[in-house]
Amino acid sequence: MIIGLTGTMASGKDAVADILKKKGFICLSLSDEVREEAKNRQIELTRENLQILGNEMRKEFGNSVLAQKILMKITEPQKNYIINGIRNPAEIAELKNWPGFYLMAVDAPQDLRFQRLMTRNRPSDPKIFYQFMKADNKDQGIGEEESGQQVIECIKLADVSIFNDFSLERLTDKVNFMVQQIQNKDAVLRDNRTVAERG
């Protein structure tokens, strides 16, 4: 099974990924693919630079390029994976070609997301609210080209969604419940495929 994670900035995607890792999922990140390319090009790792580079990569190699790169890293398909940082619908379309892919979306109120951003204090994160709003709008796809980030459109495609305005304990309970739902659905689909193959 592969669970893809999409969602707004600082909504709790990494927290969801951490919860899933504790359940044995292997974590992969589209953002890490962009960071790796930035290091190769000796580009400073700011959020704005990474957003621009990700857009350039999609424009140059196709909107699904990051998903294609990440799928090459799935070397043990029998295991469970998380793919974090999905920001373009073409990435979802590419990942849906893989059997057992499900998309989970995470969102939270903007003011709460900014507070979380300040708490985690990553070097690449914006430090003032105006910069955060500018990066957040770009991330969501406001005024962006098709090759840009389109998080709002990705959220619309989700199989399950979490509005994360509660504690880590409640988030853990919610994620565990949703994973169980996905596993049940996945089991039914596998059974149906087996029946169809036996025909």
**How far is 21 from 16, CA to CA, in rounded Å?**
9
Helix axes 110-120, 129-140, angle to 10 degrees: 110
Average pLDDT score over the chain: 91
pLDDT at residue 48, rounded to an integer: 86
For residue 193, is pLDDT > 60? Answer: no
**How far is 162 from 187, CA to CA, in rounded Å?**
22
For residue 192, is pLDDT > 90? Answer: no
pLDDT at residue 47, rounded to an integer: 82
For residue 39, is pLDDT > 80? Answer: yes
Share above pLDDT 90 across residues of the chain, in percent, rounded to a whole number: 74
User: What is the DSSP code (8-state) at residue 123?
Assistant: T
Average of pLDDT values for 155-164? 95
For residue 194, is pLDDT > 60? Answer: no
Q: What is the DSSP string of 56-101?
A: HHHHHH-TTHHHHHHHTT---TTS-EEEEEE-SHHHHHHHTTSTTE
The strands making up 81-86's β-sheet, listed across from edge to edge, are 26-29, 81-86, 2-7, 101-107, 160-163
pLDDT tens-digit series, residues 177-187: 999 988 887 77
pLDDT at residue 178, rounded to an integer: 92
Predicted TM-score (pTM) of the model is 0.88
Split into its structural domains, the chain has a count of 1
Specify whether the backbone of 111 is left (phi greater than 0), alpha (psi in -120 to 50) or beta. Answer: alpha
User: What is the DSSP code (8-state) at residue 105?
Assistant: E
For residue 199, is pLDDT > 60? Answer: no
Of 22-26, 155-159, 191-195, the one with minimum mean pLDDT is: 191-195
Tokens encoding 68: 């294609």
Compute φ and ψ for 101, nearest 5 degrees.
-95, 135
For residue 23, is pLDDT > 80? Answer: yes
CATH code, domain with 145: 3.40.50.300
CB 50 within 8 A of CB 36: no
Average of pLDDT values for 60-67? 95
CB 122 within 8 A of CB 9: no
Domain span at residue 141? 2-198
Give the residue carrying structure tokens 């390319």: 37
Is 107 in a helix, a strand, or coil? strand
For residue 74, is pLDDT > 60? Answer: yes
Single-letter residue type at 8:
T
pLDDT tens-digit series, residues 115-153: 999 998 887 788 899 999 999 998 999 999 998 999 999
